[in-house]
Structure 1
Amino acid sequence: MAAPTTVVVTGASGGVGRAVARLYAERGARVALVARGKAGLDAAAREVRERGGLPYVYEADVADADAVEAAARGAEEALGPLDVWVNCAFASVFAPFTAITPAEYERVTSVTYLGYVNGTRAALARMLPRDHGTVVQVGSALGERSVPLQSAYCGAKHAINGFTSAVRLELLHRGSRVRVTVAQLPAVDTPQFTWVRSRLPRRPQPIPPVYTPETAARGVLRAADRPGRRQRWVGASTRATLLANRLAPALLDRYLARTGYASQQTDEPDGPRRDNLYAPVDDDRDHGAHGGLNR
């Protein structure tokens, strides 16, 4: 019988990362859960255990390279050699570019882009000497086609694609059996839309159609199971975005400029609330995987 898979999931306390951890637990995997929110991490660990997996919890900000390295070291000490690393943590600010401060822009980039760089570095430091392992970058259709009001996030997701392609070529050059791939996701119903920092008049939401975290997580696991592909597109809407981007980019630009403001806001006015740009929102209360749109 094959040994259980050892997996690290960043952003594991909520949303897609939480759903990915659950699915790996159902396979009997050993799952290292990395995020900032203690309550969310503790709940995720309980779910992993209840579903037949073995959890390991590490509180870390993925923007901190030393913390990510420590998380990787702790995961291997607790669970064994890493087979899969899933980069999923992100942060965002919903606002026009001119309303986002330099510090906010730097923070989104540090978490959403450099967090993946840090995770990939920590994973490859362990996988390359063994010539075994897979790194999955949880990407986004917004890394192929940008939308208004999310310039920092879109920029980071585009950067992930370029970074991952370069690393993949380096692995091919050295003949390594380590794989790195991207799972490009559609809009997903997660708590992040209540956590993000926003300067919009109404509450932010993903652009429809919106998929469940479980649908996205299944796509991530398929990407990990078959990493030979450069990237895997999850959801019909994501594939449609890619096709439209290739066939009619100017038309798509005009469409998004016209509809992108309204489609990313609900009808409900937004008010003062906590956001997770610099500190977790799920430190004292678990928010689960869902945001409430597709329960």
Structure 2
Amino acid sequence: MPMTVVITGASAGIGRATARLYARRGANVVLIARGRAALRTAAREVESLGGHPLVLGADTADAEQVEAAAEAAEKHFGPLDVWINSAFASVFAPFDEITAEEYRRVTEVTYLGFVNGTRAALRRMLPRDHGTVVQAGSALGERAIPLQSAYCGAKHAINGFTSSLRTELLHRGSNVHVTVAQMPAVNTPQFSWVRSRLPHHPSPVPPIHQPEVAARGVVHAGDHPRGKQFYVGASTLATVWGNRLAPALLDRYLARTGFDSQQSADRPSAGPDNLFHPVDEPAGTDHGAHGVFDDCAHARSWEAALARHPAAVCAAAAGLAVAAAAAFRGAGEGAFSRVRPGSRRSWRR
């Protein structure tokens, strides 16, 4: 029987790429977002790849809409196996140029949207003692950067909320799991539809990864939910450890470089933003998974691949250790053979 997966923010970016991966498994894929035109295109993709789509329009900032979507998903497919929260919104601007209304909206979508999705999922998973919730996190939830204070604050909040919830589930001895896939900079359409007050086109901070890299991390987290969190990309891991080891130094570095590195003067101007309304309606534009940075985005991540296959890494490391020991032993035996028995030099080899 196919598994049932719910994905918020499924119309574009990481959510869209994740839907494709589950579709290739033949899963029931519930697609949730505000933009129904893009969702319909995503549904056709899921179906063409072997999955079974269900389109549900909902604003994740609205708890009642999310609850209604969860109810419709179970009515259509039955029990939910995995719920993935990946919808978000952001504003690129210095803090004092972001209005209170904009700040509230980013927080309601990017943080409370995850809370709403998690609540709706657990309401169905806990009675059955089965299911997994995956939060699409960010390195910026560990190390904030300038010009994205609302988004960074929301991602920090997700980490705290999820950690608290995890301890409650452990206390219950529950077989329901919640985990976070922490993302690097990803080439998604968000940089073309985010609300921005920057003089140039918003840009992810290099190194940039393609959404398929992020999607593989999300699916891996769904398959192996017992881990507290998963770091996707070496840059995410470097950011986390850099912040833990030298936060003051990183503050000064980001103050010096963080403004220019998030702008791209050679890109076309961003279009309408999606902070309060989806950008695919009424025009019907579908943005897909990729953004405008294909020419400089990485389609692979060695660190993410290693994290998905720890057993293979351990086996390879053990094999290398055995080979090194054998080589060392052979070299030593050869050295011993060149020294006459009883020689005073032989012990030094």
Higher helix content, 1 or 2: 2
Q: Which runs of 5+ in 2 are unaligned?
A: 296-349
CA distance in 1: counterparts of 2:24 and 2:251, whole angstroms: 41
Per mean C-alpha deviation after superposition, the further-off stretch among 270-279 and 6-15 is 270-279
Quote how far apart the aligned CAs of 1:162 are.
0.2
Per mean C-alpha deviation after superposition, the further-off stretch among 249-258 and 118-127 is 249-258
1:34 and 1:59 in contact (8 A); partners too: yes
2:44 pairs with 1:50: no
Match in the other structure for 1:184 = 182
TM norm structure 2: 0.83
CA distance in 2: counterparts of 1:21 and 1:154, whole angstroms: 25
Percent of aligned pairs sharing the same letter: 69
TM norm structure 1: 0.98
Q: Deviations over 1:216-267 (max 9, x none)?
A: 0000011110011100000011011111111111111111111000000001
Q: Which runs of 5+ in 1 are unaligned?
A: none
1:201 and 1:270 in contact (8 A); partners too: no
Q: Deviations over 1:107-143 (max 9, x none)?
A: 0000000000000000000000000000000000000
Match in the other structure for 2:60 = 62
CA distance in 1: counterparts of 2:9 and 2:181, whole angstroms: 15
SS in 1 for 2:259: helix
CA distance in 2: counterparts of 1:61 and 1:159, whole angstroms: 19
Match in the other structure for 2:287 = 287
Amino acid at match of 2:285: R
Amino acid at match of 1:141: A
Quote how far apart the aligned CAs of 1:79 are.
1.3
Per mean C-alpha deviation after superposition, the further-off stretch among 268-277 and 114-123 is 268-277
CA distance in 1: counterparts of 2:161 and 2:143, whole angstroms: 17
Quote how far apart the aligned CAs of 1:281 are.
0.7
1:12 and 1:21 in contact (8 A); partners too: yes
SS in 1 for 2:294: coil
Superposition misfits of 4+ residues, deviation over 4 angstroms: 269-272
CA distance in 2: counterparts of 1:248 and 1:20, whole angstroms: 34
2:138 and 2:155 in contact (8 A); partners too: yes
SS in 1 for 2:230: strand
Match in the other structure for 2:218 = 220
Q: Tell me which of the two structures has the higher relative contact order, counting C-alpha pairs closer than 8 angstroms and 6 or more residues apart.
A: 1
RMSD: 1.0
Q: Deviations over 1:27-57 (max 9, x none)?
A: 1100000001112101110010001000000
Quote how far apart the aligned CAs of 1:270 are.
6.9
CA distance in 1: counterparts of 2:276 and 2:288, whole angstroms: 20
Match in the other structure for 2:227 = 229
Match in the other structure for 1:150 = 148
Match in the other structure for 1:99 = 97
